[in-house]
Amino acid sequence: MEAKLTIQERIKDLRVEHNLTLSELAEKTGISTSSLGKYENEEFKDISPFNLTTLAKYYGVSVDYLLGLTEQKKRPETEVEELHISDEMITLLKSGAINNRLLCEIAVHKEFARLLADIEIFADRVVSARIRDLNAMVVAARKKITQEFNPEENELTYRTLEVAQIDEKIYLENIIHRDLDVIIEDIQENHKMDIGAQPETTIAEDFLNYTDEISRIKGSQEEKLARTYLGALGIKYDALSEEEFFYLIQILKKSSLLKPSGNRRGKKRRK
């Protein structure tokens, strides 16, 4: 789920997108610098309708966008009929049954036009005849070699002519798959900071990496266990004092899983 921007964040983001300072924006819009600064403060809520409209007109966005009522910056001037969108598609978009944001991200991706073109080529069998012609030529050459030389099944040239035949379905499906992979990988990268997005590694994997790192550190069994315990709790080893670490070692020694061993840092000096 993508975090929804506040009014203040939208106003600031638009200014940053246009590479404007507060003073420059004030000069262009006639709104005071102090007011513009307040509008970008999350604690400030009282933005006048006139200034809100002024900012929307200057940036070329809708007031609804600034108010957070829509994620669409500009209202389309084109009628729906001119877009050739079917009634079924409109119903689907309104139903909430699919992720409209994701659909839009796919559609506006720079490789989407290629994906559609390749799907159309596959669906309309645009290259089918050409592929069949090429395969027919390869089959004819292989047949001629068979009649004249009767080669072994795995003879290099003979086998090459067999492998050279193109499976139209597999060939075009792989092309479409590659197109889609590029789009999906870019979208995944863009979603990294979304609320609910999962990290690249799990907590368990991070912990296993941490314990593996600890196993290579020189020290007693108790000290390694103490480091593992601290890592599981998200406590930095270096954040503990000598005395704190000493008492932690004493607690861990009570574990029945530990065998007696010498301890380095855990031994408290005698006064």
**DSSP run (H or E) holding 229:** helix 221-232
* pLDDT over threshold 70, residue 267: no
Distances (CA, A) of 94 to 66, 77, 100, 101, 185: 22, 19, 9, 12, 27
User: Could you tell me which residues come within 8 angstroms of residue 56 by beta carbon, excluding any fewer than 6 positions away?
Assistant: 62, 63, 65, 66
Tens-digit pLDDT profile for residues 14-40: 999 999 999 999 999 999 999 999 998
* pLDDT band with cut points at 50, 70 and 90 for residue 210: low
Residue indicated by tokens 């139209």:
168
User: Could you tell me which residues come within 8 angstroms of residue 100 by beta carbon, excluding any fewer than 6 positions away?
Assistant: 93
Question: What 8-state DSSP symbol labels residue 217?
Answer: S
Q: Which domains does the chain have, with CATH numbers?
A: 7-66 (1.10.260.40), 122-190 (no CATH), 199-271 (no CATH)
pLDDT, averaged across the chain: 82
- Name the token pair of 122: 């596959």
* pLDDT over threshold 60, residue 259: no
**pLDDT confidence of residue 111:** 94
Tens-digit pLDDT profile for residues 226-249: 777 777 676 777 777 888 878 887
**pLDDT confidence of residue 41:** 87
The separation between the first and the last C-alpha atoms of the chain, rounded to the nearest angstrom, is 59
**pLDDT confidence of residue 156:** 92
Residue indicated by tokens 């009522």:
69
Tens-digit pLDDT profile for residues 145-199: 999 989 998 999 889 988 989 888 888 899 999 999 999 999 988 888 775 656 6
